Structure 1
Amino acid sequence: MTGINRIFLLSAVCLGIVQATGQAPYNYTEVLQKSILFYEAQQSGYLYKNRIPYRGDSALYDRGQRGEDLVGGWYDAGDHVKFGFPMAAATINIAWGIYEYKDVYIETGLLEEALDQIRWPLEYFIKCHTSQNELYYQVGDPSADHGYWGRPEDMTMERPAMKVDEETPGSEVAADTATAMIIGSILFADEDEEFSALLMEHGIELYNFANTYRGNYPGTHYDANDYGDELTLAALWLYIASEDPAYLAEAEQFYIDFNQKKRVYSYSWGSKTPAVQVLLYILTGKSGYRDKFENYVNGWLPEGSLPYTPKGLVYRNEWGPLRYAANTAMIALLGADHDISTDAYRQFAIRQIHYMLGDTGRSYVVGFGENPPQRPHHRSSSCNDAPAPCNWSDHRKPEPNPHILYGALVGGPDINDTYADVRQDYRANEASCDYNAGFQTAIAALLRLERDGYWSPEPDPEIDQ
């Protein structure tokens, strides 16, 4: 690590943190900044702005099937595949948070960092959209990639690229990529007019491609059951960006055509229905959309239909349970900020996010709080500084990772709140781009509540502490 990088990292992580006023027991600003740093640790390509001292340029020869430049983007998790669908979903959740809570990002001095954060995948998506009806959605072979434990800078395996087009459509990944670009276009309108216009041009083309050539994309990882929710969400953001009522009418028709009144399993990379419901209510004021949104969120409340751990985590799935709770906390806070079950949803979200930050006596955010994870299932941070070798022995070693993966939210505990800080346990201890995205926006929402003097609720007496 160079002296310059040491100073830069210290200034980015330890200094300049402005603690917002209010009664929150955690430094949300620190969490927000460290979440941004996590995404910087996931960057692939030429690192022209590198604040992560153990990272360097990597995957510089990622190419499409005709030699197109596909350098850039985020590595998905602890591995080095670039999966476009969850990358787009994560970008949407972060960008939506910047759009909704821009005042918070400005007040904390983090707006520039946050815009840089989402510029990285957005520039990559532009590269992936190689023609009007063609989009690359994956770079890397998961089998070969998962057989390698080492630095991304040292990879030598083949990295094939997969695409969707008119003959092999992929409406969900094309529509989600379009949505990410459209929100990005809104955010960069005042910062970079040329980039904003380019994002809108690509976003509209991808939306039209997704809608005209309908079908589920052929990805073997991060598949989705349907694409109607992604199409609807893209239409809604096009309406927000353009104020063209035709897009809102199209979204309302999609809502009917694709039966988006139902309560879905979760709000996640593969399911955007709760986002559709809350946005339709915000934009139209129609109570039917609010009712369906409440039907979803209410199922996650302590009196709802889902189980809770003894210490208070709503438990949707053993694979990344904190991600599911964080995503619903995010969407609940957005609804609450638009007068939907405000107090109940804020209290639910605060309890879930505070569980992650340390209410049980340990943090689940690497490099933050009390007793945080030290052995995340994450290749690059597990490696000693180059030129030392890095291989599967680093995966198995009991020592903490040599490098701190600042800001990474790990998968989380089991249904009994049991958690082992073990690198080999990828279900509990892997970090992922989609894990942090809803979490980051929920943190931004809580920062605003803290600024506005909202008193954090006491723990629910009905949940054992």
Structure 2
Amino acid sequence: MTTRGLMTYFAIRAITVCLLIDQIQSSPPLYVKPIEDESDYANVLKLSLLFYEAQRSGKLTDDNRISWRGDSGMNDRGLNGEDLTGGYYDAGDFVKFGFTMASTTTLLAWGAVSWPEAYAAAGQLEELRRAIKWATDYFMKCHVSEFVFYGQVGDFSLDHTFWGRPEELNTTRPSYKIDPEHPGSDLAGETAAALAASSIVFRDSDLEYSRLCTRHAKELYKFANTYRGLYHEAIRGAAQYYESTDYGDELAWAATWLFKATNDTRYLEDAEHHYQHFHLKERPNEFFYNKKVAGVQVLLAQMTGQPEYQNAARAFCDFTVWQQKRTPKGLLYIDKFGTLCHAANVAFLCLEAADSPQVGDSQAYREFAQEQIHYMLGGGGRSFVVGWGHNPPVQPHHAASSCPDLPAPCGWPEFDRKGPNPQILYGALVSGPDEADKYHDHREDYVYTEVTLDYNAGFTSALAGLLQLRVKSGT
């Protein structure tokens, strides 16, 4: 789990108030200089995928590019001895949270489905497939039977007694599941969406694997839709860190992705039913692992062309571009925990909306996305991507990268040590600055320096979307 979960203990919570200052439909000021070369997008895209490689759990492949990582979590098992090795560690710690891992995978797959040419131009298409497959292989292991799915491995309270390398982890790693008696429609639905989206990614390169993803996606959606409930009521520990406040958006999200993957109109009918039944037409203010409504609206607008969904997608992006609160330097500000993640996610979503001109002002949406991503890459005065750009973060809140090379020991003294992490966690997008653009690059200040799977997801896909525009224009 991410240490942002500690906010439940310290009551550190940024209160975001949307300031509806400028009602005039004019372009917001561009605070950042434009990127001069498309290779910048390509290079950061490569680094972002490298971050995911650093987060891998299980038996690493022979072509592992992270020299300071090795095999770990090799004894991860289900309650009946099921093999639960693999997948990704959530953050700078070593819990595997299925909910955010699945949300991350869906966003990565969506970017791959929309802009494969960008990944190909960057030479990263195969690396992207590997990153997605590392998650989907794990999800299919966790789906041990039609209506049983393991949604978490590791316990946050136990995990946080340890600071060091995952290869030397010495804590107990319990596993937690959902089933018909203890359902989790949000968890099963999000995983179904991830597998359905991923099935499209693999359709041209590995048809058999694509079909396997689709089969698991259908079963998980059936599980989510048949046995209703919130996953954190079954997996109690998740409530403090990755609470889900509803599951209607995940049901619609999963059904929409299954329709896109299969072209079976029954899933579209389900998606539209969920959309109405769970009142998903209202304008949301954000798009992240707990709130998929805006994603549902944009995806349905793309797939159906119906005015109801187009209007909803337009309302979200127009509010985001013209009215949402900003920092003095122009960064979209939704929440202090994952400031940059929130901005990157909506930048990605509005790039998706911009590909459907009937949804809204495509040019404004693209300029907004460029502005937000450029801020993260250094346009606001410093980079927020580890290992890239001017004055990047050097103390991300990440245990493994804080460790020196073996055989030197690693433990809590490394947490307290002042100075850069010995291992560079290339490509990780940190939580980011506060509402005044202030950033504290200190390992212990996780509110600023946290890194997680979901922080990089929309960011990665937004980079691909911006690179795609360069590739298509030939500039």
Say if 2:46 and 2:122, in contact at 8 Å, map to a contact too: no
Q: Where does structure 1 lack aligned partners over 5 or more consecutive residues? A: 1-21, 456-465
Q: CA deviation at 1:263?
A: 2.0
Say if 2:329 and 2:380, in contact at 8 Å, map to a contact too: yes
Deviates more, 1:177-186 or 1:112-121: 177-186
Query: Residue type matched to 1:67 in 2?
Result: G
Say if 2:38 and 2:470, in contact at 8 Å, map to a contact too: no
Query: Residue type matched to 1:333 in 2?
Result: L
Q: Does 2:54 correspond to 1:41? A: yes
Q: Which residue of structure 2 lines up, in the alignment, with residue 458 of structure 1?
A: none
Whole-angstrom distance in 2 between the partners of 1:356 and 1:207: 36
Q: Does 2:303 correspond to 1:283? A: yes
Say if 2:332 and 2:343, in contact at 8 Å, map to a contact too: yes
Q: Where does structure 2 lack aligned partners over 5 or more consecutive residues? A: 1-34, 233-237
Alpha carbons of structure 1 residues 246 and 193: separation in structure 2 relative to 1, 3 Å:
same
Whole-angstrom distance in 1 between the partners of 2:408 and 2:287: 41
**SS of corresponding position for 2:177:** strand
Whole-angstrom distance in 1 between the partners of 2:81 and 2:271: 36
Q: Does 2:77 correspond to 1:63? A: yes
Q: CA deviation at 1:194?
A: 2.2
Normalising by structure 1, report the TM-score.
0.91
Deviates more, 1:255-264 or 1:437-446: 255-264
Q: Which residue of structure 1 lines up, in the alignment, with residue 117 of structure 2?
A: 103
Which of 230, 237, 251 is the aligned partner of 2:271? 251
Percent of aligned pairs with the same amino acid: 49
Q: Does 2:139 correspond to 1:132? A: no
Q: CA deviation at 1:214?
A: 0.8
Q: CA deviation at 1:26?
A: 6.8
Q: Which residue of structure 1 lines up, in the alignment, with residue 182 of structure 2?
A: 168
Which of 467, 470, 473 is the aligned partner of 1:447? 467
Q: Which residue of structure 2 lines up, in the alignment, with residue 116 of structure 1?
A: 130
Which of 92, 97, 101 is the aligned partner of 1:78? 92
Q: Aligned pairs, how many?
A: 432
Whole-angstrom distance in 2 between the partners of 1:333 and 1:454: 18
Q: Note the 1:258-297 alignment, pairs <5 A.
A: 258-297=278-317
The one-character-per-residue Cα deviations of 1:323-364 (angstroms, maximum 9, x if unpaired) are: 000000000000001113201111111111000000012100
Say if 1:266 and 1:324, in contact at 8 Å, map to a contact too: yes
Say if 1:23 and 1:454, in contact at 8 Å, map to a contact too: no
The one-character-per-residue Cα deviations of 1:166-217 (angstroms, maximum 9, x if unpaired) are: 0000001101111111111121122222222211111110000000001111
Q: Which residue of structure 2 lines up, in the alignment, with residue 316 of structure 1?
A: 334
Which of 388, 409, 422 is the aligned partner of 2:408? 388
Whole-angstrom distance in 2 between the partners of 1:288 and 1:454: 35
Whole-angstrom distance in 1 between the partners of 2:145 and 2:266: 25
Q: CA deviation at 1:107?
A: 2.1
Say if 1:23 and 1:453, in contact at 8 Å, map to a contact too: no
Q: CA deviation at 1:238?
A: 1.1
Q: Which residue of structure 1 lines up, in the alignment, with residue 23 of structure 2?
A: none
Cα root mean square deviation, aligned: 1.3
Normalising by structure 2, report the TM-score.
0.89
**SS of corresponding position for 1:452:** helix
Alpha carbons of structure 1 residues 270 and 454: separation in structure 2 relative to 1, 3 Å:
farther
Whole-angstrom distance in 1 between the partners of 2:450 and 2:210: 34
Q: Does 2:254 correspond to 1:234? A: yes
Q: Which residue of structure 1 lines up, in the alignment, with residue 394 of structure 2?
A: 374
**SS of corresponding position for 1:136:** strand
**SS of corresponding position for 1:210:** helix
Alpha carbons of structure 1 residues 454 and 286: separation in structure 2 relative to 1, 3 Å:
farther
**SS of corresponding position for 1:27:** helix
Q: Which residue of structure 2 lines up, in the alignment, with residue 327 of structure 1?
A: 345
Whole-angstrom distance in 2 between the partners of 1:291 and 1:275: 13
**SS of corresponding position for 2:320:** coil
Q: CA deviation at 1:233?
A: 1.2
Q: CA deviation at 1:164?
A: 0.4
The one-character-per-residue Cα deviations of 1:100-157 (angstroms, maximum 9, x if unpaired) are: 0011112222111110010001000000001100000000010111221100000011
